[in-house]
Each structure stands twice: as C-alpha cells, then as structure tokens.
Chain A
Amino acid sequence: MSLYVTELRRLGKRRLTRLLLVLLLLGLATVATAFSFSSHQLSKEVVAAAQVESDAQYQRAVEDWKKTVADCDAAKARGDQNTEDRYGPNCGRDWQPQPEMFDPKWNLPYQFDFRAEFPTFIAVFAGAVALFAFIVGASYVGAEWSTGGMMNLLLWRPKRLAVLGTKLAALLTTVLGVSLVLGAFWTFAFWLIGRYRGTTAKVTAGVWRSIGLDGLRAVGLILLVGAVAFALASLGRHTAMALGAAVAVFAISEIGIRIAVNVLSVPFGDRYVLSTYAQSWFMKQVELFDYDTCQFAKGACEPAKLVVTWQQSALVLGVGAAAVLIGAFWSMRRRDIS
C-alpha cells in the first residue's frame, strides 16, 4: 500500500504530469468557452425576427419574380425572339416563389442541442484525455527506466511484477480520477451551454443514462490507451518506444493497410483498420459497405453491409491491449536490468 501511495505521489509530482494537466484543462476550457459563444438560445424574439426576415426574403423574391415576368412580356412586345432562352418558358410564370421556400429556420443562429450533440463532445473529450493518458503513461514508466529510477526502486522492493503492477495501478487510478473529475466538469459545462445558450429540451432520464454509458465507454478507451502506452514504454524501457509504436501503428494501420486493401479490393477493408474499432466502440456500431457488389448500370443497388459492433471492438482492443501488457510484464520478469 505504501508503494502504491508513493507511486501516486511520484506521478503527481512529475513536472510533465502537471504541465500536461494544465494544458489539458486549458484546452478543454478553451473549447467549451469558444463553443459557448457560437451557440445562441432561440428566444421568441429571435424566432420572430427570423420569421420576419424570412417573410421579407419571400416578398423580395416575389417582387423580383413579378419584375422578371414584366420584363419578359415587354421584351416579347418589342418582338424579341429569344425570351424563352433568357426568361424560360411562359416568361417564368410557373416559377413563382412559394412561402415554404423561405424557411425561418435558415435565418436562425446556431443553437446547441445538448441531447443531440453532446455525445460528439464526449468523443472530443475522450480524444484529448486519451492523448494526456498516452503521454503521461509512457513517460511515467519510460523516464523511470531511462533515468535508473526503476533500478533504484527495485533495490528497495525487489519484486519486479509487484513494482510494475503498482506503477500501472497508480497510473490508471490517476487517469481514472482525471477522467471522472474533468468529465463531470465537461458535462456540466455543456449542460450550462445548453441551458443558457442552447437547449436542454427532451433530456430525459434515458438520455442521461445514454450519456453515462457513452462516458463510461470513453473512460474505458482512455484507460486502455494509458495502459498500452505504459506497457509499450516498459517493453522498450524508454518513453520513445511508446511514441514510436504509436506512429508505427498509425502509419501501418491507417495508411498502409488502407492502401493495401484498396489495391487488392478486399471487401470491407476497413475492418482491418484499428480506428474502425475505436469508432465503433464510441458509436456502438459502424456499418461498412462493399460497393463492389453493386452493378449500378442495372439501377439502384443495396450494397453488401458489414456491421462492426462495440462488443467486437471491445474484443479486438481488449486482446491487443492484453497482449502488450502481458509482454511488458513478461519482459519485466525475465529481462536483466542493466
């Protein structure tokens, strides 16, 4: 227990942890603040003004139409032959503007709808905190290895697996705490934006439950990213190992595999791309289509579909993370420390 508390302290005292936490806070606060300015609550006055603007636009359009028809008739009276080319058939009388063509909604400013749009902002939050977890997780153990701190600690606690496990637990606890606290503030901030500069209509208990589940999936992904970064840095005994692996995975999975499956015309090629599973984890499912099965010359076509569910994503991401973690602990147990 003392080692666990010590590791929590050590992680909290690290300059990089504090710096990144400040940057994360500033980044999230900036996004929320900037977004709050772009949203405007639709009061009766604003709606009425939009209606007036819409009516005025309709009237202007009718006046323009009438003038165009009159010009056309005058041109015909002068004997012009090409009025149809310039004004259309029947001098455009059939194209009279209709009121429904000028929807007042188009003149309304943007209003944030908490119920419909907050899930997108959960993904934004998860991305930012996952980046924080990745860098902190990798540097926490990577710096321990590269500065000899791990060796020092093992001279005090010569139980390798327990030491590595305790460090991982301290990291995950910290990341979980940061995620939950910041997540609560993030949710509250956007609820406030919705309440005072948007709308929180139809936010029922069911909506809150759905938001909660989205949040849990986000926290799960953040913890997984932190654990994988930790394991990679521990495997390579350097922070750069995790960063290098991340770049390599991005290059191979997101670029290399995409190119390869396109060249080879592999059906549902995106199922081999890692980000598909991250996306599916967030969105509960992702639908992949194989348009090669369609012969559009024969008319409309319903392409073959493959659904990647969040359960499948959990399996793929979980097995991948477990493999890296097992490798890190195996390496810790077997390799000499020099």
Chain B
Amino acid sequence: MSAVLEIEGLRKTYRSRKRGVRHALDGFDMRVEAGQVHGFLGPNGSGKTTTLRTLLGLIRPNGGRMAILGQELPQALPAVAGQVGAIVESPQFFPHFSARDTLGLLAQAGELPRQRVDEVLELVGLRDRAGERVKTYSLGMKQRLAVASALLKNPKLLILDEPANGLDPGGIREMRGLMRDLATAGMTVVLSSHILGEIQLICDSVTIISLGRRVAFGPVDEVLAAHSQGAVRVRLEAVTDLPQAAETLTRAGIRVTAEPDHLMLAGVDKPAAVSRVLAEQGLYVSELTPVAVDLESVFLELTATAPVPGQHRQVDQSMKVGEPGSGATTGGWGA
C-alpha cells in the first residue's frame, strides 16, 4: 500500500527569551496509507496542530522530511495543494457572508466549477441554509461549513482537525458516515480528534503524539492489542472462594487484583489456563471474560494524562516517549 502522507523526524523549535527553547515537534514521524481513515491523537499541546500547520505550509519546520502524495514538501506544496483539503482548528468565516458566498469565493480562487459548491453544501447538510449569513449559524453548522470548504476541491487527502467539534449526536454520526464513505470512495482522511470513541469506530489506523514525538502508531486493532495487557475478569460460583483463588493464581505467576465480587487478572496470555489452574484446586469459575481495552485507556496510558484524584494536571504534563515509567514531563508548547 502506498503512503499518501509521510513525515520523518519533523522538528519545530520555538525560542523565547522568557520561556527558553521549547520543542513543539521533536523528531516526529507519521505515515498514512492511501484510502485509510487515520486518527491523529494527542493531548492538548502535544504538537498535533503544529504538525498539521507545518504540513500545510503555514509553519516552517526546523528539520525533518514531509511528503504528500509522494511529493516532497514544502517545495511541492503549490503543486499538491489542489489535492489536499484541510481544516485546521476551528476555522472562522466572515460573519456577514453566506455559506454559498464563502464557498463560492474559495471555488473561484481554486478555479473550480460553481456546481461543486452546491454538491458539498448538499453533502454536509447545509443546502437549505446556504443563503443565510454565517453569523446566524450554530457552532455545528460552522463546522459543517468548514468541512464543506475542505471537501470543495474533491481532494485525495482530507485533513480534518476536530471535525466533530460542536456537532450534535446526529451530526457526529453523519460525519462518521461521511468519513467512511469518502474513504470507500478512495479518499484518504486524517482525522484529529479528542473524541476517542469516534476515532476507534471510524479509523483504520492511528498515530498518537505526546510532547512532539510519536508514542504509538499502526492499525487500531494492533495498537489496542499491544496495550491490552491480557486483562481478564474472573467470577467464582462462591464469592467466599475468592481469597483462595487469588492466592492460587498469584502462585501461578498471574497479577491479581481482588475486587469485592470478582478478581481482575493481568498478564494472562491464555484465559483457558486460568480455568484449568483453578479447577485443579476445586474452584469453579462462573465467568471468565477477557477485558478489552479501548482507545481512551490506551491513550491515557501512553500519554500519561489520566486524571489523578487530588491533582490538577497542567497542559504540558504528559508522557515523553523513550522514557517509559518516567511519569509526567513538562515541555512542548506550541501545538
């Protein structure tokens, strides 16, 4: 499968007399294959938006390599810009222009046929409100307009930064369907979002960034599997047998956490082995359930941004790659 988007060793450094040198991107890598819906995840200030802006020529990198559709950036950006549709952060529009005017001006600047405006308005559900001023739109409607502006070029690569921001549940579902349809039609979609449930549902693959570095990447299933830790929930027929079961399993080398009515096991490669070990001691399981991890828990684990009771995490506190177990680290503003 060919790569539509390639980033290698991307660096962006901000220098400030007051704040010193900060690395917004610190050797970041990313690869997106053609036809995929790719999730781009990271905590606030991790470098997501900096990456997208750099890719789109809005920010000059200090080093690294970028390519879109096989063409090196930023040199080839004017050539590939017509094949890349993007919204970065929450785009704003002139409040006194209508959606049709806004898109019409963009279409004219891009030398696109006028009918394309109507097509994308239909696609994002703004057809009947297209003549109204943008200032009368809700946040969700503005977001739809932003997506419409990105789709206007009928791009090969669509980059959307928080496209579901402000959308109602129906809108989120529509957006999800739209992303899938676009990918099915051959468009490659890069989706940056904090709604991890959506990412898990929509995306084929993900890249997770923390403090300017990639901390995880690959197909969603593989990323989840790599961080599932073999968690299993065990219930017994008699709750009174739980302490004996916990002792037996611990002796067998399994990490056990006792809960009031069940046990949580970690590091279990084969759940059947648990059943066998317990049966040998006359303990019979009533439930043996592998616990699947979700993207949110993987994200929180990888970026060390899970909330801790009694603590207030600051935006720059997250995991620095290459230092597992080092806990939260500061740095990396500018995303």
A residues at B contact (CB < 8 Å): 2-3, 5-6, 9-10, 13-15, 143, 147-149, 151-159, 336-338
Contact = CB atoms under 8 A, between A and B. Distances in A.
Contacts of B59: 336-338
A9 B58 contact: no
A133 to B, nearest CB: 20
B108 interface: yes
A3 B74 CA distance: 21
Given A6-B109, A154-B57, A336-B59, 14 more contacts: A2-B108, A5-B108, A14-B96, A147-B92, A147-B94, A148-B91, A148-B92, A149-B92, A149-B93, A153-B109, A156-B106, A156-B109, A158-B77, A336-B53
B151 to A, nearest CB: 13
A155 B81 CA distance: 7
A115 B53 CA distance: 60
Contacts of A153: 106, 109
Nearest to B146: A152
Nearest to A3: B109
B109 A149 contact: no
Q: Across the A-B interface, give the 6 residue pairs with the lowest CB-CB distance, nearest first.
A: A337-B58, A6-B109, A6-B108, A336-B59, A148-B92, A158-B57
B86 A155 contact: yes
B78 A158 contact: yes
Interface string B76-94: 0110010010101001111
19 contacts: A3-B109, A9-B108, A13-B101, A14-B96, A147-B92, A148-B91, A148-B93, A149-B93, A151-B58, A154-B58, A155-B58, A155-B81, A155-B84, A156-B81, A156-B109, A157-B81, A158-B74, A159-B78, A337-B53
B57 A152 contact: no
A158 B81 contact: yes
A151 B57 CA distance: 10
A143 B94 contact: yes
A156 B103 CA distance: 12
B91 A152 contact: yes
Contacts of B111: 2
Contacts of A14: 94, 96
A155 B108 CA distance: 14
A322 to B, nearest CB: 26
A217 to B, nearest CB: 35
B173 to A, nearest CB: 27
A14 B102 CA distance: 11
Contact of A6 (B91, B93, B96, B105): B105
A14 B92 CA distance: 15
Contacts of A337: 53, 58-59
B110 interface: yes
Nearest to B79: A158
Contacts of B94: 14, 143, 147, 149
Contacts of B210: none
A126 B74 CA distance: 44
Contact of B109 (A147, A148, A151, A157): A157
B105 to A, nearest CB: 5
A218 B234 CA distance: 88
Interface centre among A3, A10, A152, A154 (most CB of B within 10 A): A152
A143 B97 CA distance: 13
Contacts of B317: none
Nearest to A336: B59
B114 interface: no
Contact of B56 (A15, A158, A159): A158
